[in-house]
A and B are shown apart, each in its own frame.
Chain A
């Protein structure tokens, strides 16, 4: 197991993102069994991760339809230009 708490804290993100190798996981979790501070710290990271993934309750989304309308207008405009070019080239 890891002996140092700073080693454990370095590995937390790998662990919660499920990117850690078996040996790392093993050494990590055996340390947590004997160290309550690292356990708390780890749980705080897990909590933050799941909270970050929830939508923000106080936030309304920006107006995507407006942006989409604008961009598609530009797409169409540009294509109209190209269409004229195609006709001129006789294709």
Chain B
């Protein structure tokens, strides 16, 4: 509820801005793009996997947003609208280049005993190896590499939520999903990421 209120206020504050966008006032466009552009480009880069393609994706998507801005109905923030546009264009690109990976199984399915829901004895290593790496730069690199290797459906929620720091409402609007659905997707994405990171750390 607090989130909704915040958004109502933000939407009211953004009315002038939206008017400016729809009228095509260059300074308003410049302002909106300067504010959101770097985040959108970072998101796109990590969605498609390389800078040059990401630049094309963002260019295309933003020009497209500019040309169809009259379709913006104000039911979400302009930020969500922009992310949605970049995301859809990035997914076209991912499909075209076959970087599209099925989301696979939920790793947590294998961790617990069915009858009492407790951890299975053999579920994973608890030798503390990972804990010794906690503060290292290498951990950071492994985490980011593994985010980049995730199936896109997991990658996109983590990029929006953790890396770009969008709030729940903004992500739900960008992905056109409910808050409950987002919560499940985030948890699943984190579980898959955790398994991948720990596997990668324990390999070495």
Which residue numbers of A lie inside 8 Å of B, CB to CB? 3-7, 9-10, 12-14, 17, 19, 37-38, 40, 44-45, 47-49, 51-54, 56-64, 66-68, 70-72, 74-76, 78-79, 82
Contacts and interface: CB of A to CB of B under 8 A. Distances in A.
A44 B140 contact: no
A13 B130 contact: no
B33 A71 contact: yes
A53 B163 CA distance: 5
Contact of B118 (A4, A59, A64, A72): A4
Main secondary structure of the interface of A (DSSP, over half): helix
Interface of B: 24, 26, 29-30, 33-34, 37-38, 41-42, 44-45, 51, 54-55, 58-59, 62-63, 66-67, 108, 111-112, 116-119, 126, 130, 134, 137, 139-141, 143-144, 147, 158, 162-163, 165, 168, 183, 186-187, 190-191, 193-194, 197-198
Nearest to A36: B126
B143 A62 contact: no
Nearest to A70: B59
A76 B66 CA distance: 11
